[in-house]
Structure 1
Amino acid sequence: MTAPVPPPGEASVTGEPTRRVTIGILALQGAFAEHSSLLSKLGADVREVRLPHEFEGLDGIVLPGGESTAMALIGERWGVFPRLKQWVSEGRPVWGTCAGMILLSDHALMQKKGGQSLVGGLNVEICRNYFGAQTSSFEVPLDTSALETGSVGKKDGGSANKNPYPAVFIRAPAVLEAGPGVDVLCKVRSRPCNKAVTVMKAQLKQEEADDRDDDTRRAKRRRLAAFFVEPNPSTAAVAGEGGGGGSGASSGEKEAPEVIVAIRKGNIVGTAFHPELTNDSRWHEYFVRIVKEAVSSGTGGVRDAESPAKTLGAAAAAEAEVAVA
């Protein structure tokens, strides 16, 4: 594990003072103000980002929770998504929470009709609204050992379990499969909501008819179908990995499936829950450490971002400026 970089103003391992990191918050829609407040308290310079040229000077960026479809539509229209895709492809630090995690995924299930644009970067299968609607929001204690050890499977005596993280889930997604190179940081046990079961059963059945001769796709469908076996009880218990609680299964009932709710791949972090809606700053501290380490290693920061006129074209840039105003 890389050693933490000292806070701004303190000496680094080379004896040189570290500079304050600058983190952008994608402010197209969603809970960007809450992220900004927490990151500012940790000593980061924070900027709201709505246009491509506003990436200039950033060391890291946060994609907040909100409505992923709305964020995608606005992001495409204002030319932000191409810049985000470039950012991710260059390995620069980015953190997506809830809707932001969906945008950073390569494959999303339960999309609205017509689909939506994704930034990509995380080779995972993610299911939108896995846990249900706004009224099905909940809080669950999560094991935080992975913030120090690097993955949920590497625990150091269980010490982190003594201080679980209060994870807030609101219309949250869940990662069903994580590909090579993706570190799993947190899991919970929970059944999908009734709507997800109904929609995914129909979708997987249709795909089976379309691709019955493709062995690879058929095997993948079987794995995904295991998450959508039966309707969800009206109130399902959710258990955070290492955090205690129920499994969502009553006596004699098949145990609820385990789904992934926090991941990392290189400098990309995704959380299905909303760390910005708590007073616990551990996840924000984790991302700030990643940004500092990236700056120290030379993989963070943009000092030569293209102008909006060059990226979008003069007409598109002018339209975006008017829309923001």
Structure 2
Amino acid sequence: MSPPVIGVLALQGDVLEHTRALQQCGARTAPVRRASELAEVDALVLPGGESSTIDKLLRRFDVMHPLRERIAAGLPVYGSCAGMILLADRILDGIEGQQTVGGLDVTVRRNAFGRQVDSFEEALHAPALGAGSSDAPMRAVFIRAPWVETAGPSVQVLATVSTGPATGRIVAVRQGALMATAFHPEISGDVRVHRAFLDLVHAHR
């Protein structure tokens, strides 16, 4: 069996950063802008960026419906920050008319941690992502980040905030072939999230 091709949605956001992180893990990658390109990949990354802009572009380029169909059929997808919002079934504080791709049984609050000036970093402990008690903590970068307000019973919580006023807030989840983080591993230099996603892809092939 040939190695899987990991698509990176290339409409807006941290496309190059995700591509580099995946390639550092040895993955084959391809940009995805159109439905025909989506049909050629074995998994997909939804990058950090502006969730409402990506939503509009998905609809403008007629990718929204094909993506929803592929997710329903079991396509492994990982979303970071804006990608988490796009994968959520429900969104709070979205702009008027904002849509999501859906698939994750979560309610996500957009810009939950505040504005750009409220960006911060935290050392996360997330054993399912390779950052357990015997490992180095994961450097998580939060930029206008969402958090998971509520998660359904089939959703596995992978990481929560452990310090500050947002202590206990859910910032990483997985449900079946879908995974999402509120933070940006693509810009931290820590590729453990991408490795965990590749493991998920192989498990679902």
Q: TM-score range by the shorter chain?
A: over 0.9
Choose the corresponding residue for 1:286, options 191, 196, 202: 196
Q: Displacement, 1:275?
A: 0.5
Work out whether residues 139 and 168 of structure 1, in 8 Å CA contact, stay in contact via their aligned partners in 2. yes
Cα RMSD (Å): 1.5
Choose the corresponding residue for 2:101, options 104, 107, 119: 119
Work out whether residues 47 and 79 of structure 2, in 8 Å CA contact, stay in contact via their aligned partners in 1. yes
Choose the corresponding residue for 1:65, options 48, 59, 74: 48
Residue identity matched to 2:138: Y
The corresponding residue for 1:140 is 122
Work out whether residues 160 and 169 of structure 2, in 8 Å CA contact, stay in contact via their aligned partners in 1. yes
The corresponding residue for 1:41 is 24
Q: Displacement, 1:100?
A: 0.6
Q: TM-score, normalised by structure 1?
A: 0.61
Structure 1 residue 261 corresponds to structure 2 residue 178: no
Work out whether residues 106 and 118 of structure 1, in 8 Å CA contact, stay in contact via their aligned partners in 2. yes
The corresponding residue for 1:88 is 71
Structure with greater proportional helix content: 1
In the alignment, the residues of structure 1 paired with residue 73 and residue 56 of structure 2 have an alpha-carbon distance, to the nearest angstrom, of: 23
Choose the corresponding residue for 1:177, options 150, 175, 181: 150
In the alignment, the residues of structure 2 paired with residue 165 and residue 274 of structure 1 have an alpha-carbon distance, to the nearest angstrom, of: 11
Moved more, 165-174 or 19-28: 19-28
Structure 1 residue 102 corresponds to structure 2 residue 85: yes
Show CA shifts across 1:272-316 (max 9, x none).
Answer: 000100111100101111111222xxxxxxxxxxxxxxxxxxxxx
Q: Displacement, 1:144?
A: 2.3
- Which structure has the larger Rg? 1
Residue identity matched to 1:247: G
Work out whether residues 145 and 159 of structure 1, in 8 Å CA contact, stay in contact via their aligned partners in 2. no
**Structure 2 residues without counterparts, runs of 5 or longer:** none
Work out whether residues 149 and 169 of structure 2, in 8 Å CA contact, stay in contact via their aligned partners in 1. yes
Structure with greater proportional strand content: 2
Q: Displacement, 1:185?
A: 0.2
In the alignment, the residues of structure 2 paired with residue 51 and residue 72 of structure 1 have an alpha-carbon distance, to the nearest angstrom, of: 14
Displacement over 3 Å in runs of 4+ = none
Q: Displacement, 1:159?
A: 2.2
Structure 1 residue 77 corresponds to structure 2 residue 60: yes
Aligned length: 205
Q: Displacement, 1:78?
A: 0.6
In the alignment, the residues of structure 1 paired with residue 130 and residue 190 of structure 2 have an alpha-carbon distance, to the nearest angstrom, of: 16
In the alignment, the residues of structure 2 paired with residue 82 and residue 266 of structure 1 have an alpha-carbon distance, to the nearest angstrom, of: 20
The corresponding residue for 2:164 is 247
Work out whether residues 127 and 173 of structure 1, in 8 Å CA contact, stay in contact via their aligned partners in 2. yes
Q: TM-score, normalised by structure 2?
A: 0.95
Structure 1 residue 27 corresponds to structure 2 residue 10: yes
* Amino-acid identity (%): 44
Q: Given the superposition, is the C-alpha separation of residues 19 and 279 from structure 1 closer, same or farther in structure 2, using an over 3 Å criterion?
A: same
